[in-house]
Amino acid sequence: MITAETVSSIRTFDGGGLPVVSLYARVDPGPDGQREVRTRVSSLLDGIRPLAKGGIAEREWRMSLRGDIDRIKSAVGQERWLPAAIAIFACSGRNLYTEIPLPENVPDRVIVDATPYARPMLAVLAQHPRSCVAVVDRASGRFCELYQDEMSELGQVKDPESRKPPIVAGRPDDRVSNKIDELAKRHYRRVAERLGELMQTGDFDLLIIGGHGYEIPDFVQQLPRPVHDRVAGTFSTEPGLVPLTEIRESAGAIAARYEQERDQQLVSGVLEKVAMGGLATVGLDGCLWAGTVGAIQTLLVRGGAAAPGVVCDQSRWLARSGEVCPLCGNPTRPTPDVIDELAQVVISEGGAIHHINSGGAGLVDHDIGADLRFRLPEPPAAGSDYGR
Ligand SMILES: [Zn+2]
């Protein structure tokens, strides 16, 4: 699972003078996909191999790079990468080797630099919200991370003394129960503090809280404002007894609803901008042209949408049809899915892609829409006669 910790450790890693290899490769499903990715990764590695040979670079630098090339080479031989893509970050001289499976296609690429090249990975991961889940009662707090249906534990806070019942026979002792309330409050503060830290250091988009129905409101009220604002929902459960799978189910439903609402907002945001003549476009032609000129900030694609088209590998011109690129005059390459090519362009430009899966959030009559960085120039006229 891709944890917030892994992502943030890559984001902040520095080779300290040694080279960091960042490699991205598409992984198609099936045995053909595995064979094919091996060939493509080998040729990416061949491209950087000369850097590891003698020359200007220092020996330590070259040795580290050589170690990375060997390690990646042996990893690709094991044929175990999952579709749709893999990102690898390596710096053997500093003990870094991380493989991150990506749920989206990214362009094949290898980069040797002083720090990891994380932008395509971050662009792919941005579309799935990452949730911090806290299950809380008067004496305990349990923290988990939920990302794409997977849960992992992040730790606990325990204050058992605030659970003890008052040790009095007969009528309840007010002083004792006040004391217990005081301890519970202190415990809530500790849990809130820990949550504040987690939300600050992890890449969490939302916070989901579970516990006894009669205790949650008190706890949520105590949360500091910035943490409170991230609460996407709460669920009722029996802390201490509840298995992880059950937490996942309850929290997953809240995260899914959040994603759906966010989709709806993204879609209406784009449609409103288009209606007002703002920086947005809908429809395949507009989006392909926006991708060609690198104008897409956020691309919205209806889940499962695909369309045949053409690409110019020289100038990156994308269109539904055309044998010759109107920008540079080179022959185009036909592709079974030009939306996939567009998505790769958007990712490599640091834009984000959101798949709109919820039925209600329609892009009206379109499969695709985009938020733009700048106003689009006039597209080349259809059937433009380049070079004549
Ligand atoms: Zn071209």
Cα of 376 to ligand 1 centre, how many Å? 18
Cα of 311 to ligand 1 centre, how many Å? 8
Cα of 165 to ligand 1 centre, how many Å? 76
Cα of 316 to ligand 1 centre, how many Å? 6
Cα of 314 to ligand 1 centre, how many Å? 5
Cα of 323 to ligand 1 centre, how many Å? 11
For helices 30-52 and 59-77, give the axis angle rounded to 10 degrees. Answer: 170
What are the strands of the beta sheet with 150-158, ordered from one edge? Answer: 150-158, 140-147, 130-136, 206-211, 231-236
Cα of 318 to ligand 1 centre, how many Å? 9
Q: Can you give the pLDDT of all 388 residues of the chain as single tens digits?
A: 677 778 878 888 989 999 999 999 999 988 888 899 999 999 999 999 999 987 667 899 999 999 999 999 999 988 788 888 999 999 999 999 999 998 878 889 898 988 888 877 877 776 678 899 999 998 899 999 998 778 888 899 888 877 766 555 555 567 767 777 888 888 999 999 999 988 887 778 899 999 999 989 989 988 988 899 999 999 999 887 788 899 999 999 999 888 888 888 889 999 999 999 999 999 999 999 999 999 999 999 887 788 899 999 899 999 999 999 999 999 999 988 898 889 888 888 888 888 787 655 567 678 899 999 999 999 887 555 554 3
Instruction: Give the pair of three-digit tokens for residue 54.
Output: 């003698």
Cα of 332 to ligand 1 centre, how many Å? 7
Centroid of chain to Cα 56: 38
Cα of 312 to ligand 1 centre, how many Å? 5
Cα of 324 to ligand 1 centre, how many Å? 8
Cα of 174 to ligand 1 centre, how many Å? 81
Cα of 21 to ligand 1 centre, how many Å? 30
Cα of 118 to ligand 1 centre, how many Å? 28
In 10 A of CB 241, how many CB atoms?
7
How far is 1 from 206, CA to CA, in rounded Å?
18
Cα of 325 to ligand 1 centre, how many Å? 5
For the chain, helix, strand, coil in percent to 5 are 40, 25, 35
Q: Which of 180, 183, 230, 223 is nearest to 203 (CA)?
A: 230
Q: Which of 265, 160, 162, 249 is nearest to 208 (CA)?
A: 249
How far is 63 from 128, CA to CA, in rounded Å?
37
Could you tell me if 364 and 134 are in contact, meaning their C-beta atoms sit under 8 angstroms apart? no
Cα of 375 to ligand 1 centre, how many Å? 21
pLDDT at residue number 127: 67
Map residue 252 onto helix, strand or coil.
helix
Cα of 331 to ligand 1 centre, how many Å? 8
Q: How far apart are the first and last CA of the chain?
A: 55
Could you tell me if 85 and 113 are in contact, meaning their C-beta atoms sit under 8 angstroms apart? no
Q: Which residue has the tokens 């006229």?
A: 381
Cα of 253 to ligand 1 centre, how many Å? 46
- What backbone phi and psi angles, to 5 degrees, belong to 115? -135, 165
* pTM of model > 0.85: no
Cα of 347 to ligand 1 centre, how many Å? 20
